[in-house]
Structures are given as structure tokens and as C-alpha cells.
Amino acid sequence: MQQFEERSVRIMGMWFEIALWKRILGAMVLGVIVGIIFGEGVSAIAWLGDLFIRLIRMVVVPLVFVTLVSGVISMGDPSKLGSLGVRTLGLYLLTTLVAITIGLTLAALLQPGAGVDLSAVAPSVVQEAIPLSERLMDIVPENPIAALAEGNILAIIFFALLIGVSLLTIGETGKPVAEFMSAAAEAMLKITHWIMEVAPFGAFALIAQLAGNAGIGALLDVLTLVLAVVIGCATHMIVMHGFVIMRMLLNLSSLNFFRGVRDAMLMAFSTSSSSATLPISISCAEENLGIKPVVASTVLPLGATINMDGTALYVGIVSVFAAQAFGIDLSIADYFLIAGSTTLVSIGTAAVPGASLFLISAVMDTIGMTPEQNAAVVGFILAFDRPLDMLRTSVNVGGDLSVSTAVANWEGEFDKEVFDRPLKF
């Protein structure tokens, strides 16, 4: 019995010595193999993936709220929020525009929709994207408690900012609440660490279910479209975030950046949700990239809601693909229209799996496609959308962390020693 216990302890020690990203990646590869072998039989372990997602969602709202309040208090000067907000929104819009430009360029060059017949595709009902005006109105919650219960991130950010600024202005009177928020933030980050340790098991179940139900063969029918998305995502992450932002703007190591964000990007890949990945993103930002809590707890939740680099790139490619498939000639003005509308309506896209399907329909309306054509396109890509959703969500999360690094650097809320610290490979 004692030998068994010693062996168990030794095995657990070996498990935790392996870097988390390796454990997650290995679990995903094993999940693909198991899914292919057992097919729909993997539904028996679907509960494991669902449980993992519930664990993540459990901490998202309290983590965002308490870390944001604590971060504002630690700032010491409420006026700093103004420059932080302007820089964050400006950089988010810029990177989204660059992403959509890359997507449109690749679609124009590779012609993924040429020769594709969508006449036999069964139309699918598409939910409309949330109007921008309604999205902006939702920032101010009628009931803050209801906003917390519903997980309305923008409303939570707004209310948390008000709480944080008010605690700063009342000084010593608010000190007990400020200390409570600081302790609560530490507690939520500790819980997040515990959840991250079970991430490989959740990723295994999620990927196995995907491979078992959808199969890999669905991607072969749209190889050019998939190739355009893969090339676009890789180009945007490496060139825009790795080279332009890290090397040119910040003079930081691109390699250190990608090492620092790998856990969050792998988690985004397995969950297909920027919102569900948020706790891991905040942890990576503070512990791997040297981003101070005031920036991590502000910029990342906002990015998970409005920054959709990967989604914008994907929507651009699919919009051009659809126009090519239906024989619609696009002018330069149409390309500008797609780029502008995608950038704007992406703000109204939920940070959940498959949300970009709604965005696609809204953008295709702007170039004159009929509802029937929109539905046919969505019905066509549904079969293989999930694997591409996983990829573009990884880009969304990577972009959030890149912008957070830049804003933290400009605001003096950045620890370069942490960023340059060698991580366990």
C-alpha cells in the first residue's frame, strides 16, 4: 500500500513538472485520435468537457469584477483611465482593420469561392448580429446585479470602473472595501490556477467530441477556403502582433511574447470562446507578460467583448468567398464596405463559439446578397466551421494579449523583467 502511494505521488509529481501548454497540447492530440477511433461514441465523455467549461464560466464574472475594481484602486489616479481607454480602443480598432485587410487580400488572391456550387445546400436560419446602438446602450446596466448574473461583460466593466473610482475618491473611508477587493482578486486568481491544472482533461474531452462528431474529412471539401483562413491567421499573429507591435513598437522579444501567451491561445483553441478563456488570459498577462493588474483586468475583458481580429479576418474571407460562389463582382468600394462594416459590427458579436456566423450574415447584407444566399452560405460552412472557429478564437485571444502588452508598456504598468524571464519549455 505504501509503495502504491509513493508511486502515485511520483507520477503526480512528473505530471505537474510538465509545462501546462505541453499537457494541453498532448491532451488535444490524444482527443483527436480517440474521437476518430470511437466516432460518436465519444459523447459518453462529453460531460467532462461541459464540466470544464462550467468551471471556467464560474470564475469569469467574479474575476473580472474584483480584479478590475482592485486594479483601478491600485492605479491611485482615476485620470489615468482616460488615456488607457483611448489607447486600448484605438489599438483594438487598428488591429481589427489590419486583420480584415489581410483576409480580403487573401480571398482576392486565392479565389476560394471560384467554382463552388451552393445550390444544393440547405439554407440555415441565421440570428442577426446585435445592432451597435443596442450594444452601446447595454454598457450602462439598468440593474448591476442582473448584469453580474447574466455575465454582461461590458456592463460589468462599466459598473466596476465606477466602484473603483468611487473608492479612490472617498479615501480612507473606502479602505476596508478596497482591501477586501484586493484579497478577493487574489482568491479568484488562485481558483483560476486550480482550474488551469484540470485544463488538459477538459481540452481532451472537447477535442474528442469535435473529432468524433464532425470528423476531419469535412475540411477537404473547402480546402482553399481553409488554406486562406490558416494563412491569414498565421500572418496576422506573426506579422502584426509578433513583429509590428512587439518588435517595432515596443522593442520586445516576439518569441517571449508567444511563449507567454501559448497557454491562453491553446485554451482558446479548445474552447472556441474568448470569454471562457478570459481567466487564463488574465493569468498569462500578469505572470508571463509582466502586465500589471490594472491593465490586465481592464483591457482583456474589453478585448474579449469587442476585439475580434481572427473573426474579422474570417468574415472577410467568407464574404468574398460567397460573392465568388454566386458570381457577384465586387468593386473596390465593396471591399471597403466589407472592411468597414466588419470592423463596426464585430463590436456586437458575442465572445462565444459560432458567434461569427451571425456576423457573416450582417456583413453580406451590405454587398447586396439576399437572405436566401446568406442562409445558403452559412449552411455550407456549418459543417466545418468549428475547427476554424477554434483557430480564429486563438487569434482573438492572442490579439487581446498583444494589445494589453502595448497599453501596459505605454501606461508604465509593465514589468519587463517578468516579460523577459525564461519560461519553462
pLDDT at residue 203, as a whole number: 79
Instruction: Evaluate whether residue 11 is within a structural domain.
Output: no
What would the pLDDT profile of 341-371 be if each residue is shown by its tens digit?
777 666 545 554 455 655 676 677 667 777 6
Mean pLDDT of 134-139: 70
pLDDT at residue 345, as a whole number: 60
What would the pLDDT profile of 231-249 be if each residue is shown by its tens digit?
999 999 999 999 999 999 9
Instruction: Evaluate whether residue 78 is within a structural domain.
Output: yes
Instruction: Evaluate whether residue 1 is within a structural domain.
Output: no
Instruction: Evaluate whether residue 353 is within a structural domain.
Output: yes
Query: Mean pLDDT score of the chain, rounded to an integer?
Result: 78
Mean pLDDT of 291-318: 83
Is the pLDDT at 219 greater than 50? The verdict is: no
SS3 track for the chain:
CHHHHHHHHHHHHHHHHCCHHHHHHHHHHHHHHHHHHHHHHHHHHHHHHHHHHHHHHHHHHHHHHHHHHHHHHHHCCCCHHHHHHHHHHHHHHHHHHHHHHHHHHHHHHHCCCCCCCCCCCCCCCCCCCCCHHHHHHCCCCCCHHHHHHHCCHHHHHHHHHHHHHHHHHCHHHHHHHHHHHHHHHHHHHHHHHHHHHCHHHHHHHHHHHHHHHCCCHHHHHHHHHHHHHHHHHHHHHHHHHHHHHHHHHCCCCHHHHHHHHHHHHHHHHHHCCHHHHHHHHHHHHHHCCCECHHHHHHHHHHHHHHCCHHHHHHHHHHHHHHHHHCCCCCCHHHHHHHHHHHHHHHHHCCCCCCCHHHHHHHHHHCCCCCHHHHHHHHHHHHHHHHHHHHHHHHHHHHHHHHHHHHHHHHCCCECHHHHHCCCCC
pLDDT at residue 233, as a whole number: 92
Instruction: Evaluate whether residue 63 is within a structural domain.
Output: yes
CATH code of 21's domain: 1.10.3860.10
Is the pLDDT at 98 greater than 50? The verdict is: yes
Domains in the chain, number: 1
Residues spanned by the domain of 413? 17-420
Q: Among 1-10, 312-321, 361-370, which is the least confidently predicted range? A: 1-10
Instruction: Evaluate whether residue 211 is within a structural domain.
Output: yes
Instruction: Evaluate whether residue 5 is within a structural domain.
Output: no
Indicate the pLDDT class of residue 124, thresholds 50, 70 and 90. very low
**Residue of higher predicted confidence among 94 and 42:** 94
Mean pLDDT of 395-416: 91
Q: What is the pTM of this model?
A: 0.72
Percentage of the chain lying above the pLDDT 70 cut: 77
Instruction: Evaluate whether residue 134 is within a structural domain.
Output: yes
Ranked by mean pLDDT, the top range of 148-157, 172-181, 371-380 is 172-181
pLDDT at residue 125, as a whole number: 46
